[in-house]
A and B are shown apart, each in its own frame.
Chain A
Amino acid sequence: MGTELALSYQSDERIIVGCGITSAENGYTYTVVNDANTLDAVMQLPKLHTTVVAPRQLYAKYIWHDRIECLPPFDELKEYDFDPEKVSQQQVALALACWIGTPSLFLLGYQLESIKETPALQAFARLYPRSKFAYIRKPNPQKINVFDPYPNVIIDDTETFKQMIKNVVQA
């Protein structure tokens, strides 16, 4: 785990962007939802300790509610035909995290997949060269090479990540 990332984790401005109902139940800072059924389920939770973030059309249905915001327009993604209602929820969550502008992003539970998800992460790494992306996965001896050309993407495992958190807490 790079020192820069460890230092970044020490920041008080830690923001957790999750997606779907589990994120809402866990009270993450922001919960991205991009389909109507999940949004209905999230908004019906008895207590919401997260700010739900939804694309404009879905947001309009719950515009009168307190704990929901409209996704920003993502101007920097316009030329990439990025449609928050058509891409996966994790891509929208990643787009929001990049838009927020945090210097380091720890991707936990991000599912890689060769057709859309991996190229999307590579595209975000290209688009935000000053952001550090730490892809955290379960310990696995098999090396991931697809991010080798991206100096701002590192692959790490959950054990190292947990150790880093311990070190940060102890510090």
Chain B
Amino acid sequence: MLSKPKNTDLKYHIVVEWPPSCRNRNVKTLRNRPDLVYRLNEHTKKCMELAKTYSNVKIESEYNFVGIRMWFRSGKDVYDFILNQNKNEIKVIPELYVVNGLNNRLDKFFFRVEGSEIIVY
């Protein structure tokens, strides 16, 4: 179950999907497929580089079958990150978790990108 990183003011959580060939691969498969591991690493490096553009971003180090889990502190940053996903040749899963400051729980939302706008619902 998704939980908020401790002792941080990170608020927004998104997942950047792995490249198609790497998705839903279990650890056993990955042990026998160094080519996929290479692609996963390259993709992670790319996300880490992109994250440097923003003020406070955390990339979860734990392996996830679906993609790279990222936490953002600023709404403006995550908005910009999502909006520029095509330009950066990444795909963000259209689900957004937001830490609710009232109860510290994660509220789940969905979004779609329409032109230069992100519609959240």
Contacts and interface: CB of A to CB of B under 8 A. Distances in A.
A60 B109 contact: yes
A60 B75 contact: no
Interface string A37-74: 00000000000000101001100110111100111100
B75 A65 contact: yes
Contact of A63 (B101, B102, B120): B120
A51 B103 CA distance: 14
Contacts of A66: 74-75
Interface string B83-113: 0000000000000101011110001010000
B120 A61 contact: yes
Contacts of B101: 51, 69
Contacts of B74: 66
A53 B102 CA distance: 9
B100 A69 contact: yes
B78 interface: yes
B76 interface: yes
B65 interface: no
A56 B121 CA distance: 8
Nearest to A66: B75
B120 A72 contact: no
B102 A60 contact: no
Nearest to B119: A60
Indicate the member of A63, A65, A71 with the most B CB atoms within 10 Å. A63
A64 B109 CA distance: 12
B75 A70 contact: no
Interface of B: 74-76, 78-79, 96, 98, 100-103, 107, 109, 120-121
15 contacts: A60-B120, A63-B75, A63-B96, A63-B98, A63-B109, A64-B75, A64-B76, A64-B78, A66-B74, A66-B75, A69-B101, A69-B102, A70-B100, A71-B102, A72-B102
Interface of A: 51, 53, 56-57, 60-61, 63-66, 69-72
